[in-house]
Amino acid sequence: MSEWSVGEPRKLSFDAPVTALHVRIVNGTVNVVGTDESSARLEVSAIEGPPLTVTQKDGALTVAYDDLPWKGFLKWFDPKGWRRSVVVSLAVPASTRVEVGVVGATAVVSGIDAGADVKGVTGDTTLVGLSGPVRATTVSGNVEAQGVAGDLRLNSVSGDLTVIEGTCPSVKADSVSGSIILDLDPSGGPTDARLTNVSGEIAIRLPHPADAEVEANTASGAVSNAFDDLRVTGQWGAKKITGRLGGGTGRLKATTVSGSIALLRRPQSEDEPWDAPRPQKAPAGTDDAPTEQKGL
């Protein structure tokens, strides 16, 4: 086993194979990016408070505070722990399995193929271009997943959960009061999506044409539906949106207690230009007509 104590800005390179990465920090930022290289690199560009411990053993690279365990991570609290901050950047092979835990810090994970597990308390999490199983859990921080191709599991208390251009075979998102926004990319296959909220809103944008069996309901919130093939039932209190789109291969189930539910339709081609605004006629009695604005 190799071990380093990092108490000031420093760069480290690891020639031994890295198959798993574990990061646990308080305050600051952690950036993890997958590369096609076989080696791993670490840069600590800023650090305040106690040193980080970096260890490498049996293919596992760990960058963490000694007093911050992964087990029970979301319940960790130490008044002295808030007097620390660190900015960490890591480049690891894309085949590395990644675990990241942040308390009050921002986490960005991109380009990982072997899956990732991210836990956050108050910091925001961004996941980009990941495949393999992905899970993100947060208390009050926001989670945004873009271009994720593996099975996706998101959980929050009050943080917002957003999925952009998802091609995930399955999505499961649960929140108490944060909003859930799901945007499915038409290039992906049928998706099994199950979304649950209490008081937060749920908005889903489906490809057009879509292929899903739909069941969405709210106990007291408003609903909106952009698909003619779906039925909206209930006028006061509980409301439902049900029906089949296309062959019904995929499945969409969304439930909220008091939040609203919106089903939106993605345009067939987002490359089509926007309709240009028509030039306005000059009011009677004026000499000059308004000039038509050119698109940007």
Q: Token pair for residue 292? A: 């038509």
pLDDT digits (tens, 9 = 90+) for 58-106: 999 999 998 877 776 666 556 555 688 999 999 999 999 999 999 889 9
Query: If pLDDT is split at 50, 70 and 90, which confidence band does 213 have?
Result: very high
> How far is the C-alpha of 179 from the C-alpha of 259, rounded, in Å?
9
Q: Which pTM was predicted?
A: 0.86
Q: Which two tokens stand for residue 86?
A: 């660190």
Q: What is the mean pLDDT of residues 162-186?
A: 95
- Mean pLDDT throughout 149-158? 96
Joined tokens for residue 246: 């296309």
Whose structure tokens read 């007097």? 83
- pLDDT tier at 209 (50, 70, 90 boundaries)? confident
DSSP state at residue 292: P
Bigger pLDDT: 189 vs 261: 261
Task: Extract the tokens encoding 157.
Answer: 């208390």
The answer to whether the beta carbons of residues 97 and 22 sit under 8 Å apart is no
Residue 84 pLDDT: 87
Give the list of residues 6+ apart from residue 42 with CB closer than 8 angstroms, or none: 11, 12, 13, 14, 54, 61, 63, 88, 89, 90
As a whole number, mean pLDDT of residues 121-126 equals 93
In which band, very low, low, confident or very high, does the pLDDT at 289 lie, cut at 50, 70 and 90?
very low
- Measured between alpha carbons, how far is 123 from 273 in angstroms, rounded to an integer? 37
pLDDT at residue number 285: 42
